[in-house]
Structures are given as structure tokens and as C-alpha cells.
Amino acid sequence: MSACAHQETPVPTATETNDSSQTYQIGVMVEAISIALTKSHEPQSLETISLYGTDSRYYVMIRGWLVQELAGVQSQLDASQQSQSRSISISESDLETKQKFIEQVVFLQQAIRRIDLE
């Protein structure tokens, strides 16, 4: 037998297990916030963001994420308004798209205000 066959599988230390658990919890948090951002029309979405965003350990990260999302959506809204001002006729789908951007901007502003105030 080779020396490799007799090696034991390392047992994680308490610190490694705790780090792994904390990493998992952060992953769950990121996934929950990501879902909340895609389902901004649901009332629970704002609550989810508020729950995690008011935790002082994650406040800066989550607020930064929301600010970047807001900047992206605002940029898309601005671009859609510029294209609409150049065209003679505005389609129904253009109006729907613009409305979705506006709703997302409002939602993100509310989420930022909510975590800033709590």
C-alpha cells in the first residue's frame, strides 16, 4: 500500500466549522436579498431586505448593493426616456418597461430609506 492510502481525512476544527456555518448563513442571506430584489412587487421583499440590512454586520454591504442596483435601474430608466423622446410614437411595451423601471427605482429608494432609518 502507498502512503496516500493510509492518510486520514482531516476533521474540521470548531473554528472551521463555525466559519463554514457563517459562510452558509451569508449565502442564505445573499440569496434571500437577491430574490427580494427580483420580486419587489411582493410586500415581504421589503421586509426581507430590512431584516438583513439593519444587521450592523451586513449594513454596509447591503446598502452598497442597493445603491448599485438603484444606479443601474436609474440608468436604464434614463436611457429609455431618452429613446422615447427621440421617437415619434411610443409603444405600449415601452410604457410598460418605463413603468417597471420607475417601480423598481421607488422600491430601491424605499429599501435604502428603511435600512438607513432602523
pLDDT digits (tens, 9 = 90+) for 30-68: 999 999 999 999 989 999 999 999 999 999 999 999 999
Largest CA distance in the chain: 80
Long-range interactions of 50-54: CB distance < 8 A, separation 24+: 50/111, 50/114, 50/115, 50/118, 53/111, 53/114, 53/115, 53/118, 54/115, 54/118
Q: Provide CB contacts within 8 A for 74, sequence distance 6+.
A: 105
Model pLDDT, residue 15: 63
The stretch 108-118 carries a mean pLDDT of 94
* Domain extent listing, the chain: 14-117
Global pTM? 0.77
Asked if residue 93 has pLDDT above 90, the reply is no
CB 118 within 8 A of CB 50: yes
